[in-house]
Copies of this chain bind each other. A is one copy, B any other.
Amino acid sequence: MADPSTTSPLTRASVQVAHDLIRSHIHKTPVLTNKTLTQLASTPRTAADLEKEGSNPEWKGRTPARPVLRLWFKCENLQRIGAFKARGAFHAIERLKQEPGWAESGGREKGVITHSSGNHAQALALAARTNSIPAYIIMPTISAPPKIAATRDTYGATVVFSGSTSVEREAATARGTMGLELQDQVLEQSSSSSSAGLDAIITPCGGGGMLSGVALSCEGTGIRVFGAEPSFEGADDAKRGYYAGERVEAVSTLTIADGLRTPVGKIPWSIIYERRLVAGMYSVTEDEIKAALRLVYERMKLVVEPSAVVGLAVALFNEDFRAMVEREAGEKGWDLGIVFSGGNVSLDALGKLFA
């Protein structure tokens, strides 16, 4: 049982090593800007906005915050298999190939196995196929038929149960590679403008692998990292744990951000909370997620899944976050990196969401 999440050190340098290992297998996804959304984020909301149905009731009666934000979008929805999880899957396979004795003991023939109902299944199936290694995926019977079909048909994985090497949830280091790219890309792209790189990054938080990985990638750089969650039915477990000082271990929620329904894991928690590498956690309502989703479709022309826009929803609609930016960044404002984590949503599901 190889478990890279426990065998590699969790530092910024190890994120760089992971990046070198997977770079040739993944896309360097584009970093986009958008004038309309940057302007919207830097415009105070109206008192009426803060009171409207679907908004967080806490905002009612507050003076709207006046943050200055310049937004940079890291488009992992354009990553292979449509999500950042391609990074971890290729990393897991490359690490296995490096493991002494794995190939010699028939590891290539036995193949790899994991359990996942979503993007991770497709990602591992692709990474295994690229290396001509069989992949076995344990999927819950309630998995969405298109995700089962893509895993089996498009990426050639099998749905069986034993004998193979377990490839558990990939290391935070692999997911943090996207944070490294984002930092570099903003520096390259902002050379002609007044900004000198990012001040902060906000990412969605489900199991916490991506958030903690991005936090590692920013260690020692001065860039602040924030996490974003849905508030629906207690999906904001990491936020509640973060402010209570204790990890919430179980969650049961049907938020539309279906990639963020899981509680934060133990190793990510150690990075997010115990090592204090995440500077704050914020949550948003279902209506705020939908509003952000619509803006990304109509204004940015990108297909993203609901989970992907939770960070943008915080930047646009969470008055606690916005007031903090106003206070910390002042008139100069912040360059804020926003991670769009994935784009795996069916056209039928989208139609229902906006019907």
Contact = CB atoms under 8 A, between A and B. Distances in A.
* Secondary structure call for the A interface: helix
Contacts of A354: 347-348, 351
A343 B78 contact: no
Given A32-B78, A351-B355, A297 B303 contact: yes
A283 interface: no
A300 interface: yes
Interface string A34-58: 0110000000000000000000000
A346 interface: yes
Number of copies of this kind of chain in the complex? 2
A133 interface: no
Interface string A278-322: 000000000000000010011111111000000000000000000
A151 to B, nearest CB: 14
Contacts of A304: 301
Given A298-B303, A347-B350, 6 more contacts: A35-B80, A297-B303, A301-B303, A347-B354, A348-B354, A351-B351
22 contacts: A30-B30, A30-B32, A35-B80, A36-B154, A77-B301, A78-B300, A82-B299, A297-B303, A298-B303, A298-B346, A298-B347, A300-B303, A301-B303, A302-B302, A303-B303, A347-B350, A347-B354, A348-B354, A350-B350, A350-B351, A351-B351, A351-B354
Interface of A: 30, 32, 35-36, 77-78, 80, 82, 154, 294, 297-304, 343, 346-348, 350-351, 354-355
Which 7 A-B residue pairs are closest in the complex by CB-CB distance?
Answer: A301-B343, A301-B303, A351-B351, A77-B301, A347-B354, A30-B30, A297-B303
